[in-house]
Chains A and B, each alone.
Chain A
Amino acid sequence: MIVVQGYSQSYGKKDVLQEVDFSIERGEMVGLIGPSGSGKTTLIKSLIGMQIPTKGTVHVFNEQQPTLKVSKQIGYMAQSDALYNDLTPRGNLKYFGKLYGLRKKKLAERIEYVLDFVDLARDADRPIHSFSGGMKRRLSLAIALIHEPQILLLDEPTVGIDPKLKRTFWEEFEALRSKGVTIVVTTHIMDEAERCDRLLLIQDGRLIDAGTPQELTNRFGSIENVFIQKEGM
């Protein structure tokens, strides 16, 4: 489903990612774990096709990124909420739905579905500037889901939201996974990492280890220890 081979990314002279190799199967929930500045967001951006790899290849659905061919299969939620505050939640969903090619009945159905999914149905026509941070985050997730993507890329989806909403979010991610959606999520919170099927550990632009949370805990004592031990090497 996702195959990354020998992928390096540099901006000018700065090497952000070096020689990254991994693949992700359909229906997996994969966590990208690493300290801030380690290259997680850059990796996510290459998976959506927002940049040309300096070296190596990134394939999604057997198509080499960057390409517009797979855009319809990918849902993306960035660190910022990226909402049009002048429009209502429904207006935002309508706009992005249309850009993904959804029309009339299908569009209306999807809007109702995702609004319900993130529990914003009652606030769909309220102005966004009256929304709390958590509500904006939920709307942002709803937009990422509007076109029924097969792959969901989430960049720090739970930063700055309260523990209760965080739990709801993860329940929602798990519900999506059970429907066969492949999820790639970046985080540096360990209890979130433990809920993933598999973890890719990134440090200083390199993939330093990978495995299930259980395997990594067995080998190093805890996931955090992986970074501490590797740092010393």
Chain B
Amino acid sequence: MQALVVAERVIAQVFKDKRTMAMMFLAPLFVLYLLFTILGSSSDNVTIGTVGLPASFEQIVKEETPARSYASREAAEEAMKELQITALVYLENETPYILIEGGDVSKNAQALRVIQSALTKQSAEQGQAVNKQLLEQIKQLQAQLGQEVSVPAEVAPMAVRNPQIDFLYGDKDAGLFDQTAPALMGFFIFLFVFIISGVSFLRERSSGTLERTLVTPLKRSSIVWGYFIGFFLFVVIQTLLIQLFMVNVLDVTQSGSYSLLLLVNVLTASVALSLGLLLSSFAKSEFQLIQFIPLAIVPQIFFSGIFDLSDAPTWVEVVNRLMPLTYAAHALQNIMTRGAGIDTIGIDLLMLAGFIAVFVLLNMRVLRKERPV
């Protein structure tokens, strides 16, 4: 009951503070949109230079990415220095050589991929052409001899056909953003809720309103629950907005259940809320609270599944398991890209709930310093 009084006041305060509302609702959308644009525009923008290669090769490359042919290697290398081309392919003694500019990791990989697939495709086409010629000659021989010649099966051009590629989850259009988006969604929800809840609780401390609230017959736990209930409303709206924006506007793959996604996000936000309240009691000012972000929040993004940690040392694995975002990101990624259900991500939900319980209990302990009963 008393918790509701606190909740009502928290809600009234947030409503009065338009900028905080905007920060909560619009800032994550803006940042995600920015990231979407950046990740979406970088990868397929390579130009490939060729010197003395057959026109057919250039044609194949051009199906995927711009290509330019140069009269000499020197001219091509000059163009590369001016960053006009990312990679250069040339022939020496009938062997293709590839020279990569090397300044941009994602472009390197992209250029290599395009060149290699083009080379494979061309040799396949050449192979097919040779096969075709052979079959043609066999037919001519048959006609000349006037009798059947059996052709062994190995000669049939199976190996040179292009493979058909299918995806168990997602499709070939899924890019870097689709892969990282679920984890980033969790991260931004976490970050913004942490900042807002931490700063508002810190202000209560420094302005003396927390002390004044604690001299009333209010129970300590009611303050913490009041903040939870008060922020719950905003967290649900924020989460729904981000979810809708990512799935409908940014067109991120979402193959799982919407409500399960919401549940994970609300739990993630609750962890951030309880951590924000807790850490605010170890900060003397807003400035000191912000200092917790690079220490306690930013490292979590490294562990949130954006980077592959399978070969990481043991201590990293231990740290990884202690980070709430690890579980949030795991759950979000599995729901969105693999359509996972409660059976796969149940353990993640339990872990997140566990973090909330621990942080809330610690919060009540810390408030004991302010008022012993």
> Which A residues lie at the B interface, using CB under 8 A?
48-52, 66-68, 71-72, 74, 76, 78, 80-87, 91, 95-96, 98-101, 143
Contacts and interface: CB of A to CB of B under 8 A. Distances in A.
A100 B6 CA distance: 12
Given A84-B9, A87-B12, A74 B207 contact: no
A49 B216 contact: no
A98 B373 CA distance: 20
A82 B208 contact: yes
A140 to B, nearest CB: 9
Contacts of B371: 49-50, 66
B99 interface: no
Interface string B191-235: 000000000000000011101111111110000000000000000
23 contacts: A50-B215, A50-B370, A71-B215, A71-B216, A72-B217, A76-B212, A76-B215, A78-B211, A78-B212, A81-B207, A81-B208, A82-B207, A82-B212, A83-B209, A84-B9, A86-B16, A87-B13, A91-B9, A91-B12, A95-B5, A99-B216, A100-B216, A100-B217
Contacts of B208: 78, 80-82
Contacts of B213: 96, 99
Contacts of A87: 9, 12-13, 16
B373 A49 contact: yes
B373 A67 contact: yes
Contact of A86 (B6, B13, B215): B13
Contacts of B217: 68, 71-72, 99-101
A64 to B, nearest CB: 10
A72 to B, nearest CB: 6
Contacts of B219: 68
A85 B370 CA distance: 22
- Interface of chain A, helix or strand or loop or mixed? loop
Contacts of B2: 99
B24 to A, nearest CB: 15
Nearest to B207: A82
A158 to B, nearest CB: 17
Contacts of A50: 211, 214-215, 370-372
B171 interface: no
A201 B326 CA distance: 59
B148 interface: no
A95 B4 CA distance: 11
Given A82-B207, A84-B9, A99-B5, A143 B212 contact: yes
A82 B211 contact: yes
A99 B211 CA distance: 13
Contacts of B372: 49-52, 66
Given A74-B215, A82-B209, A99-B217, 16 more contacts: A50-B214, A52-B372, A66-B373, A71-B217, A78-B208, A78-B211, A84-B209, A85-B207, A86-B16, A87-B9, A87-B13, A95-B5, A96-B216, A98-B5, A99-B213, A100-B216
Which 3 residue pairs across A and B have the least CB separation, nearest first?
A82-B208, A80-B208, A99-B216
B17 interface: yes
B128 to A, nearest CB: 74
Interface of B: 2, 5-6, 8-9, 12-13, 16-17, 207-209, 211-219, 370-373
Contacts of B212: 76, 78, 82, 96, 143
Contacts of B373: 49, 66-68
Nearest to A51: B372
Contacts of A71: 215-217
A78 B213 CA distance: 12
B194 to A, nearest CB: 20
A86 B219 CA distance: 24
A85 B6 CA distance: 16
B133 to A, nearest CB: 83
Contacts of A100: 216-217
B364 to A, nearest CB: 15
- Please indicate which of the listed interface residues A72, A76, A81, A99 has the most CB atoms of chain B within 10 Å of its own CB: A99
A70 to B, nearest CB: 9
Contacts of B13: 84, 86-87
Contacts of B8: 95
Nearest to B220: A68
Contacts of B209: 82-84
- Please indicate which of the listed interface residues B8, B211, B212, B372 has the most CB atoms of chain A within 10 Å of its own CB: B212
- Please indicate which of the listed interface residues B13, B16, B216, B371 has the most CB atoms of chain A within 10 Å of its own CB: B216
Nearest to B219: A68
Contacts of A78: 208, 211-212
A78 B211 CA distance: 9
A48 B16 contact: no
B229 to A, nearest CB: 15
A60 B219 CA distance: 19
B261 to A, nearest CB: 32
Contact of B207 (A68, A83, A98, A143): A83
Nearest to B210: A82
A67 B214 CA distance: 12
A66 B369 CA distance: 12
A84 B212 CA distance: 11
A148 to B, nearest CB: 14
B253 to A, nearest CB: 41
Contacts of A81: 207-208
Given A51-B372, A99-B5, A80 B207 contact: yes
